[in-house]
Structure formats: structure tokens, C-alpha cells
A and B are shown apart, each in its own frame.
Chain A
Amino acid sequence: MVKGFIAANGMEKKRTSDESEPGSILLSQVDRFGFIKLEQNSSEGLTKSRPTNEHEREETRIKKWRKMVGVGGSDWKQYVRRKPHVVKRRIRKGIPDCLRGLVWQLISGSRDLLLMNPGVYEQLVIYETSAAELDIIRDISRTFPSHVFFQQRHGPGQRSLYNVLKAYSVYDRDVGYVQGMGFLAGLLLLYMSEEDAFWLLVALLKGAVHAPMEGLYLAGLPLVQQYLFQFEQLVKEHLPKLGKHFSEEVVNPSMYASQWFITIFSYSFPFPLALRIWDVFLYEVSKTLEELRQDYEKRNGGPLGQAGSTNRQLRAINHKEFSIMTEISNCVQKDDLSS
């Protein structure tokens, strides 16, 4: 499989406008997230000229977070149970970059999946073949091409990305591989190992603690259609002037927003914004579902059936989940994004 990957990509030549060897990129040429800086990069100032007191504040913040998470995440669940409001407040301010990978795994439920399924990922990567292999290969070098980790042809970044996507396309053959998944996997791989990234993808799409999001990629893209519909209604409701203007000009959300949802905001948004959205999205969506479940059980005196949930409940949940997504992007944008 990996062999095929190398052979097929070897045919394409590195584009001529980029003369530098992938290995020769200087640290000063990349931003704090590892993306190669454009000449007039607006985030230039943030990396270097941070005042010292801000640096100290950051240190204190990380200390608090370490305490909250515990060694390897051992204290997390208890902390969340005891002080959910503190967790929520801190997550909204942004998870410290050094703990992001671990915390994402804890709040998405992927850690538990990993522990419950030893050896499964390896099996999928090494022994299984996927009908989507060629499609995946074609997109590998087109995923975050300006990030140092993914830039090098056949380098560790591109190999991991291929492995995760191939493994998922085998794990769920109904979904297979759909363009856009690469950006989810790529984002995750910047913060965790291949196997961890794979299980987080599973947790998200199959719904470990969230409602499953595989509808983003299933035939007909049902969840994308739903989000687009809801988004349009929300614009009309909350921004009536804009909504009216859009409908007069026959501009509908599928023209500009399908890529937001298909890649869960990881494709075209500035990277720091995408990260902050993911922080809040992963945590609050699962929290909301938990609240809805408790609420349901209180009202109906019984547990919420897994497969037996009625459409109405699902719609309510999805609607809630969706409004959170938009709320998040609003609040993050207003927030000091540049930090």
C-alpha cells in the first residue's frame, strides 16, 4: 500500500516555482503552527514580539491546565464532573497548544475507543486494502501543502495522512474516502499520533459522545444539506437584512458554506481560528448532548434509546448542536483571535 503511494506520487514533479528543498526550511520561515509564512503574513507579530508578562500568563495558564488534566489525563473526568463551568470557561479561552492533542482525545471520547480496540488500527493499515487508495494518494500532497509536516513528498506527514485515511476508508466502507476528510485528519495529525488521530476521526464520525457526523460524507451528504438548511434559516433569523439581501441576489449557503461544514471549518479558515473552533466544538457539543439526554430522561422517566430515538429528538439535538457551532465561530471571531 505504502509502496503504491510512493510509486504513484513519484511521477509528479515538485513545482518549479518552489526551488527550496523541503528539508531546508528555516524555523524562522514558519509560523508558530508550522505553516510556511507568506511574505505579508499578518500573524507575524504574534510569534515573536509577545510581551514578557503575557508569556508568564501563558505559563500560569498551562500550569492550571496540567493540574486539571492530570498525568496522561487521569484527573480529567473527575474535574469535568466536579467543575464543568470552569472547564467550559477555560476551553472557551482556548486549550493551551501543548495540551491540545491530549484534551481533544479526552473530550471526544476517542481515548476510550483506542483503549477498547487494541491492534485494530494496525490491522487496518497493514493488512487491509481499500478501493479508495488511488483517490487518497492523489489528494495527499494537496492537503495543507504549506505546512512543513505535510510538505515533504513521502515524508512522515504525508505517510501518516495516507495511513489514517486509508484505515478509515476500510473501517467504514460506506463512507470510504471523501475529499475533505483529509483536512480533518491533517489537523488531528498535527496534534497527535496516527493511531490517536484515527480513533478521534472514528469518535467524531461514528459518535462516541457526540451525535455521529458521518452524514457529512455519506452518499447524498445528508448532514451537509441539513447544516446548510439550518444555516440559511439562522441567517434569516439573526441577520434578517443580510438574509434578505442574499435571497434577492439568489445567493445560497451551498455556494460558500459547504466547505465549512464538510471539513468542520478546517479548510479555509485561518488556522488559529480553526483550532479554537475545534476546542469549543468538541467540548460543548458533547456536553449539550449529555444535558439533552438528562433532560429527556427526567421528562420521560426512561433512558434515551440508542437506535429507537425518534426523528424529532434527533432533529432537536442536531439543531442545538448546529447553533452551537455557529455561536462558537461568532464568539471566537470576536475574541482576540490573534493570540
Chain B
Amino acid sequence: MDSSSSSQPEFDYLFKLLLIGDSGVGKSSLLLRFTSDSFDDLSPTIGVDFKVKMVTIGGKKLKLAIWDTAGQERFRTLTSSYYRGAQGIIMVYDVTRRETFSNLADVWAKEIDLYSTNQDCIKMLVGNKVDKESERVVTKKEGIDFAREYGCLFLECSAKTRVNVEQCFEELVLKILDTPSLLAEGSAGVERNIFKQKPPQADASTSSCC
């Protein structure tokens, strides 16, 4: 492992991604579906949490460190520092709850402006819970319009049925791979970074409740 940075790195790039959005929209569920292809009753995220996943996208071996944040306002004092250095930010809302969508403009886009340090950082808008089609109150068109206005990628998905979940992360990562300034930052061995090598206690244990 010591040799990983000098001779042959175990991955080509390391990207730091961030999940934000109101409480209960399904950020942790999306992440759990993506990293371990499962769906479960999850406890609310307290503060921050993270998972690490190795993927091969666009022919590149990638290490994704994905930060999952608590949605409640009181926790922003803890979560705001995690915008720094993120190459990709996923804004999640719940298509069955109008206020989670209106808060994107009122709250979350502002948070990104305030705390993100990366000019070229890729933003992605994700409408979750499309499995509850009968309860939907935010139309797909509204999502598309928002994404266009704020310059984001856009997808609708369901962590429960796994529809489009992988695509969310894939499209985001492909776009990062297309952006030279972000690539330079994420190159293995360029700088010391969080989780350059093995993360402390990566997946499972961090988010499990007793």
C-alpha cells in the first residue's frame, strides 16, 4: 500500500462528491443504493457521513468519496465545510414534497454559492421517489427548467426501485472527467487528499445504527 502513490496507483482519479438537500428527501438512501445496492429503513443522518466506492467509468478507475450531509438547518454549521474541494455536488429533492423543491432555490443553491470553492464544480439536480408517482407534486418539466436555469445536470430517480440511481452518479462523473480543471485536482498522487489511500473505516460501519 505504501507503494500505491509512487509506482502504480490503485485508481486513476479520486473525486469528492457531496449530497445535499432537505431532510428526508432520500440522500442517504440514494447513496446506500449506489454503494451497496440495497434499500432499508435508515435513521436520519446526524451531522455528516461518507461512503467510498471504486468504480470504472469512461475507462478510468475512479475512487469516489461521497459525503452525505444532514438536511436539517441546525446542522449547516457542521456541513458547510464539506463543500470545499468537492468536484461534484448532487442536490436532491423529493418529487412528492413541494417545499423540498422550492428550497433548492431558496436555500441549497445559495449554500453552494457561499461555500463551494470550486468554480468549475459540476452540479446535478436529482428528483427522488419517482416510485410514488401518484403522490407526485413536482413535474419533470419543473426539474428540467430549474436545472437549465442553474446550469445543472438533471435526472429523476428512485432509490427504492433503483431506477436511474447509477445513472445519477455516472453522468456526474462523466462530466467531471470532461472538465480538465477538475481532472487535474483529482489525479492520483497530485496532492495529499482525504482518503488518498485506505479510508479509516470506510463503508458499512459508519452509517449503521445499532
Could you mark each residue 38-72 of chain B with 1 if its beta carbon is under 8 Å from any beta carbon of chain A, else 0?
01111111111110000000000000000000101
Taking a contact as CB atoms closer than 8 A, the residue among A224, A254, A256, A268 that contacts B208 in the complex is A268
Query: Chain A: which residue is nearest B210 at the CB level?
Result: A271
Query: Complex: how many Å from CA A217 to CA B78?
Result: 12
Taking a contact as CB atoms closer than 8 A, the residue among B45, B135, B160, B193 that contacts A250 in the complex is B193
Question: In the complex, what's the smallest C-beta–C-beta distance from B115 to chain A, in angstroms?
Answer: 14
Interface assignment of B164: CB less than 8 Å from any CB of chain A: no
Query: Chain A: which residue is nearest B85 at the CB level?
Result: A250
Interface assignment of B81: CB less than 8 Å from any CB of chain A: yes
**Residues in chain B near residue A182, CB distance under 8 A:** 44
**Residues in chain A near residue B24, CB distance under 8 A:** 138-139
Known interface pairs A179-B70, A219-B74, A274-B210; A142-B50 also in contact (CB < 8 Å)? no
Query: Complex: how many Å from CA A248 to CA B78?
Result: 21
Question: In the complex, what's the smallest C-beta–C-beta distance from A308 to chain B, in angstroms?
Answer: 28
Identify the stretch in A19-27, A205-213, A257-265 within 8 Å (CB) of chain B at 4 or more residues.
A257-265
Interface assignment of B201: CB less than 8 Å from any CB of chain A: yes
Interface assignment of A143: CB less than 8 Å from any CB of chain B: yes
* B210 lies within 8 A of A35 (CB): yes
Known interface pairs A17-B39, A219-B74, A254-B78; A179-B46 also in contact (CB < 8 Å)? yes
Question: In the complex, what's the smallest C-beta–C-beta distance from A62 to chain B, in angstroms?
Answer: 25
Known interface pairs A269-B210, A271-B210; A142-B44 also in contact (CB < 8 Å)? yes
Taking a contact as CB atoms closer than 8 A, the residue among B43, B48, B77 that contacts A145 in the complex is B43
Query: Complex: how many Å from CA A182 to CA B207?
Result: 17
Known interface pairs A179-B46, A180-B46, A248-B192; A15-B74 also in contact (CB < 8 Å)? no
**A contact residues, range:** 35 or more
Query: Complex: how many Å from CA A224 to CA B77?
Result: 10
**Residues in chain B near residue A144, CB distance under 8 A:** 43, 209
**Residues in chain B near residue A267, CB distance under 8 A:** 43, 46, 209-210
Known interface pairs A17-B39, A251-B200, A267-B209; A259-B46 also in contact (CB < 8 Å)? yes
Interface assignment of A294: CB less than 8 Å from any CB of chain B: no
Interface assignment of B5: CB less than 8 Å from any CB of chain A: no
* A220 lies within 8 A of B210 (CB): no
Question: In the complex, what's the smallest C-beta–C-beta distance from B19 to chain A, in angstroms?
Answer: 15
Interface assignment of A331: CB less than 8 Å from any CB of chain B: no
Query: Chain A: which residue is nearest B71 at the CB level?
Result: A179
Could you mark each residue 135-156 of chain B with 1 if its beta carbon is under 8 Å from any beta carbon of chain A, else 0?
1000000000000000000000
Query: Complex: how many Å from CA A24 to CA B134?
Result: 30
* B192 lies within 8 A of A258 (CB): no
Could you mark each residue 166-195 of chain B with 1 if its beta carbon is under 8 Å from any beta carbon of chain A, else 0?
000000000000000000000000001111
Query: Chain A: which residue is nearest B28 at the CB level?
Result: A142
Query: Complex: how many Å from CA A77 to CA B207?
Result: 40
Query: Chain B: which residue is nearest A254 at the CB level?
Result: B78
Query: Complex: how many Å from CA A138 to CA B22?
Result: 12
Query: Complex: how many Å from CA A225 to CA B46?
Result: 14
Interface assignment of A11: CB less than 8 Å from any CB of chain B: yes
Interface assignment of A329: CB less than 8 Å from any CB of chain B: no
Query: Complex: how many Å from CA A169 to CA B196?
Result: 43
* B195 lies within 8 A of A179 (CB): no
Query: Complex: how many Å from CA A141 to CA B43?
Result: 9
**Residues in chain B near residue A11, CB distance under 8 A:** 135
Could you mark each residue 223-262 of chain A with 1 if its beta carbon is under 8 Å from any beta carbon of chain B, else 0?
0110000000000000000000000111100111011001
Known interface pairs A179-B75, A219-B74, A220-B77; A15-B43 also in contact (CB < 8 Å)? no
Query: Complex: how many Å from CA A250 to CA B39?
Result: 31
Interface assignment of A156: CB less than 8 Å from any CB of chain B: no
Query: Could you say which of A144, A225, A259, A271 has the most chain B C-beta atoms within 10 Å of its C-beta?
Result: A259
**Residues in chain A near residue B192, CB distance under 8 A:** 248-250
Query: Complex: how many Å from CA A221 to CA B208?
Result: 23
Interface assignment of A295: CB less than 8 Å from any CB of chain B: no
Question: In the complex, what's the smallest C-beta–C-beta distance from A41 to chain B, in angstroms?
Answer: 11
* A221 lies within 8 A of B77 (CB): yes
Instruction: List A132-156 residues whose CB lies under 8 Å from chain B.
Output: 135, 138-139, 141-146
* A142 lies within 8 A of B41 (CB): yes
Interface assignment of B23: CB less than 8 Å from any CB of chain A: yes
Query: Complex: how many Å from CA A268 to CA B70?
Result: 15
Interface assignment of A270: CB less than 8 Å from any CB of chain B: yes
* A249 lies within 8 A of B46 (CB): no
Query: Complex: how many Å from CA A138 to CA B45?
Result: 13
Known A17-B40, A179-B45, A256-B206; 14 more pairs at CB < 8 Å: A15-B41, A135-B23, A143-B43, A146-B41, A146-B209, A179-B75, A182-B44, A220-B77, A249-B196, A255-B50, A259-B47, A268-B208, A268-B210, A270-B210
15 residue pairs of the A-B complex, CB under 8 angstroms, read A17-B39, A135-B23, A141-B41, A144-B209, A145-B41, A146-B209, A180-B44, A217-B74, A221-B74, A225-B77, A251-B194, A256-B206, A262-B47, A268-B210, A274-B210
Query: What residues of chain B have their CB less than 8 Å away from a CB belonging to chain A?
Result: 23-24, 39-50, 70, 72, 74-75, 77-78, 81, 135, 160, 192-197, 200-201, 206-210
